Chains A and B, each alone.
Chain A
Amino acid sequence: MFKPTTAKSAKPKPPKKGKKKPSPEQLLDQLEHGDAPPEDPPEGAPGPEEILDRLRAAGARDLDVGEVYRVEEP
C-alpha cells in the first residue's frame, strides 16, 4: 500500500550496556503468544511516566490530540 523508498538514513541508537533486557525466552513468549494488555504493568516494568521520560530524553515532543474529529466513512 505504502510504497517505501529509502528515506534519509536513520541512525539507530546503540544498545546501552550493563542494563537488563528481556531474556530471549521472555521476548519469544511475547512475540509468539502476544502480550495480554495489562491492567497494570507487571511488577518492576516501567510505567507510562517512566517511558515518557525516556522518550522525551530522546527528543520526543508532547503532541496534543488537537481538535477531535468524527471519522466519516465514504
Chain B
Amino acid sequence: MKPLKMVNPNGWLFPKEYVDKRGYLKGKQLVTKIDDYEVTYKFHITLSDATYEQDRDYVASFLYNNKFKFKCHLLRKMKPKEEERAFTIYPEKESDVIDIVAGLINLQKKHNLTAGSPSGDGIVVPGTSGLVTYHVERINEKLLRDMDSAGAFSDDTKSWLYFGGKLDDIKVKAWLKKDGGYIGKILPKSLRVDAMKFLFGRGPLDFLWD
C-alpha cells in the first residue's frame, strides 16, 4: 500500500496537505443556519482500539480520497477511552453531511469495521452499526440565550454557566471572545447534549430519525 503522509501539529494526525503553516486545517467548516441560529455539526467515528491500525487505513483512505476534512488518533494514543473519537470529521458543505454517512455505511459493509465505545455527547447515527456519532460543536449567542429562556439547560450545564441563579454574562462574553462559540472549553460539553436535544428535528441529518 502507498503511504498516506500525515502530520501531527497538536497531538492529532492530519493528512499533510490538509494543514496550513500555523497547524490549522485548511478550508471552512460548514455552518448550518437554523432560523437565527448558527450551528456547526461534526462527526466522530468510534473504532475499537484492538483493530484500529487496520481500520484506520480504510477510514482515512475513504475520507482522503473524497477530500473530506478529518483528524485521527496516533496509534500510541489509541486507548479504550479514546475509541469514541478515533476520527473527527468536519463537513465543509451541506452535501458532505449525507455523503459522509452514506460512504461510511458502504465502507462498513465492505470492510466490516469494528466499532468501539460511542461518544456520550452526540447521537449514534442510525444504519452505521454504531460507528458514527453526530455532534453540535459550536453555537451562537442567540441559540444559547434561547435555550436558557426555554429552560433547555441540564443541571450540569447550569452548574457551569449560572451565577446567582442566572446565566453568567461574564462567562458568556469570554466564551464569545475567546472560543468563537466552541463548546467544550469555557462552555461545558454537557451543553452539546442540551443543544442536540433542543435542535433535534431541525439539524441537517435529523431526517434520518423521521
- Interface pair A37/B130, CB less than 8 Å apart: yes
Which residues of B (18-60) have their CB < 8 Å from a CB of A? 24-25, 27-34, 38, 40, 46, 56-58, 60
Task: Report the bound CA distance from A41 to B128 in whole Å.
Answer: 10
- Interface pair B127/A47, CB less than 8 Å apart: yes
Task: Report the bound CA distance from A35 to B132 in whole Å.
Answer: 11
For the complex, count residues of B whose C-beta is within 8 A of A: 87
Pick the contact of A4: B4, B28, B99 (CB < 8 A). B28
Chain B residues lying within 8 Å of A3, measured Cβ to Cβ, are 24-25, 29, 180
Chain B residues lying within 8 Å of A8, measured Cβ to Cβ, are 93
- Interface pair A55/B202, CB less than 8 Å apart: no
User: Which of these binds chain A: B106-114, B142-150, B157-165, B167-175?
Assistant: B106-114
Contact of B151 with A by CB under 8 A: no
Chain B proximity mask over A6-43: 1 for CB below 8 Å, otherwise 0: 11111111111001011010011011111111100100
Task: Report the bound CA distance from A72 to B56 in whole Å.
Answer: 11
Task: Report the bound CA distance from A52 to B62 in whole Å.
Answer: 17
Contact of B187 with A by CB under 8 A: no
For the complex, count residues of A whose C-beta is within 8 A of B: 60
Interface of B is mostly: mixed
- Interface pair A72/B98, CB less than 8 Å apart: no
Chain B residues lying within 8 Å of A46, measured Cβ to Cβ, are 126-127, 208
Chain A residues lying within 8 Å of B8, measured Cβ to Cβ, are 73-74
Do A70 and B57 contact each other (CB < 8 Å), given the known contacts A1-B10, A12-B34? Answer: yes
- Interface pair B204/A13, CB less than 8 Å apart: yes
Q: Which residue of A lies closest to B41 (CB)?
A: A10
Chain A proximity of B162: nearest CB distance (Å): 20
- Interface pair B13/A67, CB less than 8 Å apart: no
Where the two chains meet, the residues of A that have a C-beta atom closer than 8 Å to any C-beta of B are: 1-16, 19, 21-22, 24, 27-28, 30-38, 41, 45-52, 54-56, 58-74
29 CB contacts below 8 A, A to B, read A1-B24, A2-B24, A5-B28, A7-B93, A9-B33, A10-B30, A10-B33, A11-B33, A15-B207, A22-B209, A27-B200, A31-B121, A32-B120, A34-B117, A34-B118, A34-B120, A41-B127, A51-B127, A51-B208, A54-B207, A58-B207, A63-B62, A69-B3, A69-B4, A70-B1, A71-B4, A72-B6, A73-B6, A74-B8
